[in-house]
Structures are given as structure tokens and as C-alpha cells.
A and B are shown apart, each in its own frame.
Chain A
Amino acid sequence: MSVTPETQPAPTGQGGGPLLEVAGLRVGFATEDGRVQAVDGVDFELEPGEVLAIVGESGSGKSVTAQTIIGLTRGPNSRIEGSVKLNGEELTTQSESQLQRVRGSKIAMIFQDPMTSMNPVYTIGKQIIEAIKAHDRSVSKKDGRARAIELLDAVGIPDADRRVDNYPHEFSGGMRQRAMIAMGLALEPSVLIADEPTTALDVTIQAQILDLIQDLNKSRGLATILITHDLGVVAEVADRVLVMYGGKVVERGTLDEIFYDPQHPYTWGLLGSLTRLDQPRPHRLPQISGAPPSLLDLPRGCAFRPRCPHEFPKCVEVPGLEARLPENPDHRDRCWLTPEQKKTLREVEPGRIGLEEPR
């Protein structure tokens, strides 16, 4: 391992700027079929103790955004532009070995499928100890083990002192995701990135994992980026929401703004396809017609245009991510419709938001 010069311990969030600041992030991959711009201009800030949800379909660029934050998308075929700052410290220009010290210790990441996200040939405890020792080699095996047990206990794994010696296949899916979270917490990071942490789990287990994440967020002030395609998950835990489509953020706002005053038709579509207990049951859940666009061949102008029933001539120009509601500068979206038009178009039935053809 190469030795990197000691960097000044950065101030922790509260003082200056935000804890994590992503600005103008663009990630492109060279593929055999051409250049894919997986992420095309993403900006957000994350404050300590906040839960930010990034929502979008597969291929919207949400996972790539998350992985780029800790440099996992670096490679000969990828091009990363823009800036990612942790406590004011730029991460995109850091060397691989500098980034290694950030990964796990300051920003932890957990992944979608707990079945495949742990190495099957090592025990859970060994993998947690490995994470600890990667950042502090002075930790003894005994201390590491004690810490691993403590962590497993903290995420609600019963019999942690016995389970620590189990292999991943001896854990259930929900337990494995808890163990993943325990591993992520091992070095008390300030940011947790959870990439679809509940997608592969049963609904009841989903709720438990979300509770756990929310609990950690509250009790430890752990700033969390939650990546998901499930607005139900978002509604439970998020403070603020980014909606992504075709590599771009199409709408951003607080949880209430996104759920009760959504500005972008894509967001309407996502909301419209939720089952809701307070509404009469429809015969068939509405869906957004069509498929997400290929990133190799994005439509001109607004990327959502081909699937949007409210398209009008202006849509061939790319709309910027702007505050279009004069009273709320932090609620931004990329849609040319006027706020008044949006208000009438999104209400497909009285009290129900959706993306159906205007009647």
C-alpha cells in the first residue's frame, strides 16, 4: 500500500458548506456501441443527519451517480466530470489510494442484493473485521471481533456473538442486509449510500431495514443517500428527493413538495403508479407507457418527451433544472409547462395525481 501524505482533518459539516456536495457531475462510458452518458449533470447537497432519496427507473443513472461518489466507476472506459466534495474536500481528483481511505471510513455503501454482495467464502465476522483493518491495521483480531459482534448487535442481529462466525449463506436475506449495514457502520462513516437496499427483500423485511436505516440516521446523525425506484420507500424515510430520468435530475424538492406538489410529468407518472390505501382501488394500476430511453440515443430536448402525453412544441428544447414556482426557489424541475398548466394536467381525477391522457 502506498503512503499518502497526511491531509488536514477536514471540518465536519456543521461549520462551512454541506457535508457532501455534488456539482455538475457527469459520467460517461465508452462502449462498443458508442459513448453512453449515464449521468448528465447531477447537483445536490447533503447535510448531516439528512436522508436524500434518489428516485428513478433502471438506467436513469441513479446507481452510477452513487458509485461515482466513492470512485467505483473509475476505469479506462469511463469519463467523470464535475465535482464531488466531502467536507469541502474534492474527491474526483484524488488518487485511488486516497479514495480507499474515504471508502468505508467516511462514506459507506451498501448494495441492492445482500445475497450476492458478501463474499460466500468468508464468515460475516471476517468480512467486517476486514473492513475495520483496511483502515486501521493496528486493530487486533480480538478487538476487531469484539467490534464486529457489537456492530451486529447494534443492527439487530440476535446471538451476535455466535452469528459472527456464520457464513453469509447461513443468514437470511434480511439478516444479510443488516450485516451489510453493520459492515458499513464499522468505521462510523458520516455518509451512508444505500443503493436499493430493500429491493431484493420481502415487504415485511423491507420495512424492518428501512426502520433500521432511519433509526441509524436519527441516532447517529448518519447522512444517508437512499437510491430506490420505490416511491413507497421514499415516502417513509426521505427528507428530500431527487427524481432522475435519462441521466438527468428532472425534479428536486422536499418530500412534501414531491408528493403533494409534483411539477414534472415523470414524477406524476411515478406517483400515479403507486397503490394507495386512501383511494378507491383501480381495476389496473396506471403505468407510464413506453420504456426508458436508450442512453445511446436520447431524444432531442426533454428526454421524457416521447412518453409524455402533455408534450408540446417547446419540448424539443432542453429544459433547465430551474425553480419555476416563484414562491419556492428550492423546488426545481425540468418541464416547460407553466405551474398553472401543471396544476390542472396532473390531477387526472379529483384528488389523484397521475399521468394519463388529458380527457
Chain B
Amino acid sequence: MLRFLIRRILGAIAVLFAISVLVFLIFNVVPATNPAQRIAGKNATPQLIENVEKEWGFDKSLPAQYWTQMKLIFTGKVQSYQSHINIDKRIAEGIPATASLCIGAAIIWLAFGIVFGYFSAVRAGGFTDKALTVLALVGISMPVFWLASLMLYYFTYKIEIFPASNYVSLSNPWQWFTHLVLPWISLAVLYAGFYSRVLRSSMLDVMNEDYVRTARAKGLSQRRVMTRHVLRNSLIPVITLFGLDFGVLIGGGAIVTETLFNIEGVGLFTSEALKQQDFPSIMAVTLFGAFFIVLFNILVDVAYAYLDPRIRLGASAT
């Protein structure tokens, strides 16, 4: 287990390094983004641009620039070229909002995805299954921006059940909750539909396994067979998906939801950084997002070992 973890963490560092180099290179070969020009402003004289280049270190070699940039990011001193705010600080400030959004949404989509998927599979072919299938497909087919806009229109403007937007910190729990209900739902619907379909098909596969027949032949009740033997063994693909999806979102991937509901999280910051083509910001959020994707991949692998004892992590099984 330990060896496995060390190996995976070393791998993760390599992946993050590769991503950072790639993003850095992309920005330095795209000609439209001469950062000195941007910092100096539209009407800058060549002299001014040159001064800026010197001051910010753009005249140095690429590896040197990369090194400086990474040092700034990891020491928490990196600044936006545009607004000169501290980017690391800005990301850190966005984490509570993003985490609130993603964790809440994840609880909703896992609960609905698993419950719907379970009943769909148990009643496969019946009315419940068909109704849930339609529901899931509707959920999957609704674009987040469309659903979010509709909900905003109906629930904050037409009937004012929920407050319109923004994120309120957890120090005011009720406000925190009411402000997040709509974002949670709009983010969760797609995943809930998708997960219920995945779980359903996974359960139908497992139901044909010999050990399910054995469980029935032992005299277990139908419910026990379904929960202890079928559901338990069907969760593995769902866990895989969840690790990846959740990693993407918590790393700033909930861009549309955060933008529409004006939640000042990492996703909103990502979208701003992209719009302004602000190189240090993009560099930082990309690394931040990649970190979570890699992290949750490792966590998924660890979870596998607990869900399926046949999977022994690393060469040295203990």
C-alpha cells in the first residue's frame, strides 16, 4: 500500500510538471499574447515595452522564465499581469465557495443517481424503470446553462423563493444554504441522470453473475441479494466516474454554474483568467485543477482496494 502510494505520488508530480511545461509553452508560442505589450498598455512606446520586459523578466530564456513563474506560484507570490492581485490568494479565497458548491451537488447527485439507478435495475423493464429512464435522459440532455437560467428566472425572479446569486459564507448557515440550493440542483441534475444510467447497467450485468444465483440459492431475501450482493459489486464503475468528475469540478471545473450564479469560486476565476488571457492566472488554475484530478485518481485507486479485495495495490501485497 505504501509503495503504491509513493509510486503514484511520484507519478502525479511528473504529470503536474508535464502539464505546467505544456501550458507554459503554449502561452509562449502563441504570438498574440506578448505579455509586456499587455502590461504596458495599448499606446506604449517601444522603450516602455522594453522596460517592462526587463522588469518582469520576459527577456530571459524560456527555462529561466518558467522557473521564475513556478517559484512565484509555489511561494504564493504570483501576480496577475492585468490586475496585479495575488493569484494564489484569489484561488484560496475561492476554495470555500467551490467546495460548498461541489460537495453539496455531489451529495445530491450521488443520492439520486444511486437510488434511481437501483430501482431502475430492480424493476428492469417495468414501469418504474421506464419512468426513471425518461427522467434520467431528460436530466442528461438539459444543458447546465439552460437549466440554471430557467431556475434563476422562475425561482428568483418570478417567484422569489431563493435569493438570486452570490455565495454567502458558511458563517451564516441558512443564507449559505438558500444561496446554494439552485446551483447545487443545476450542477447535480446532469450527473444524477448519468450516474443512474451507469449504475443501472452495471447492476444488470452483476445480476447475471453466478454468485448472485448462489446468494439466492442460500435463501437470502430478494432485498438482501440486491443490496449486499448486486449493489455492492455494481458500485465500482460509479466510484471511478465519481473520482474523475468530482476532481474536475473541485479543481475549478464548475465554470458555467459558478459564472451563472455569480459564485466567486475557482471556476469563476478560471473563466475570468481565460477571458483575459492572463498568463499567470491560467498557469495557476490549470495546475490547481490538474492537482485535484490527479489526487482523486489516486483516491479512486485506493477506494478500489477496499471495494474489491482482488485488487491488491502495488507489487508487495501486505
Contacts and interface: CB of A to CB of B under 8 A. Distances in A.
A and B: bona fide binding partners: yes
Interface stretch (A101-109, A225-233, A248-256): A101-109
Contact of A121 (B210, B217, B220, B307): B307
Contacts of A100: 219-221
A96 interface: yes
Nearest to A113: B210
Q: Which of A109, A119, A183 has the most CB of B within 10 A?
A: A119
A315 B125 CA distance: 43
Given A111-B214, A119-B233, A121-B308, A103 B221 contact: no
Contact of A119 (B211, B217, B219): B211
A167 B219 contact: no
B229 interface: yes
Main secondary structure of the interface of B (DSSP, over half): helix
Contacts of B60: none
B217 A104 contact: yes
Contacts of B3: none
Contacts of B216: 72, 103
Contacts of B214: 111, 117-119, 180, 183
A131 B210 contact: no
Contacts of B307: 121
Interface size on B, as a range, is 20 to 34
Interface in B266-318: 307-310
A196 B310 CA distance: 26
Interface in B232-247: 232-233
A120 interface: yes
A277 interface: no
B215 interface: yes
A101 B209 CA distance: 22
B123 to A, nearest CB: 11
B217 A120 contact: no
B42 interface: no
Nearest to A132: B218
B75 interface: no
A85 interface: no
A79 interface: no
Nearest to B307: A121
A117 B210 contact: yes
Nearest to B229: A119
B214 to A, nearest CB: 5
Interface string B85-114: 000000000000000000000000000000
Given A70-B217, A103-B216, A167 B309 contact: yes
Nearest to B211: A119
Contacts of B211: 116-120
A182 B213 CA distance: 17
Given A121-B233, A167-B309, A104 B209 contact: no
A101 B215 CA distance: 13
A136 to B, nearest CB: 11
A134 interface: yes
Given A111-B214, A116-B209, A119-B229, A134 B224 contact: yes
Contacts of A81: none
Contacts of B210: 111, 113, 116-117
B271 to A, nearest CB: 42
A97 interface: yes
Interface in B161-208: none
Nearest to A120: B310
Nearest to A115: B210
Contacts of B217: 70, 72, 103-104, 108-109, 111
Nearest to A77: B125
Nearest to B306: A121
Interface string A84-108: 0000000000001100111111001
Contacts of B209: 116
B47 interface: no
B83 interface: no
A131 B309 CA distance: 21
A100 B224 CA distance: 12
B222 interface: yes
Contact of A131 (B218, B221, B229, B310): B218
A324 interface: no
Nearest to B222: A96
A35 interface: no
A182 to B, nearest CB: 12
A103 B233 contact: no
Contacts of A70: 217
Contacts of A203: none
A195 B218 CA distance: 14
A97 B218 contact: no
Given A1-B221, A134-B220, A111 B213 contact: yes
Nearest to B224: A134
Given A1-B223, A134-B220, A135-B219, 10 more contacts: A96-B222, A100-B219, A101-B219, A104-B218, A116-B209, A116-B210, A117-B210, A117-B214, A120-B310, A134-B218
Q: Which 7 A-B pairs have CB atoms at the shortest separation, nearest pair first?
A: A104-B219, A103-B219, A116-B210, A131-B218, A119-B211, A104-B218, A109-B217
Interface of A: 1, 67, 70, 72, 76, 96-97, 100-105, 108-109, 111, 113, 116-121, 130-131, 134-135, 167, 169, 180, 183
21 contacts: A72-B216, A72-B217, A100-B219, A100-B221, A101-B219, A102-B219, A104-B217, A104-B218, A109-B217, A116-B209, A116-B210, A117-B211, A119-B215, A120-B308, A121-B309, A130-B215, A131-B219, A134-B220, A134-B224, A167-B310, A183-B218
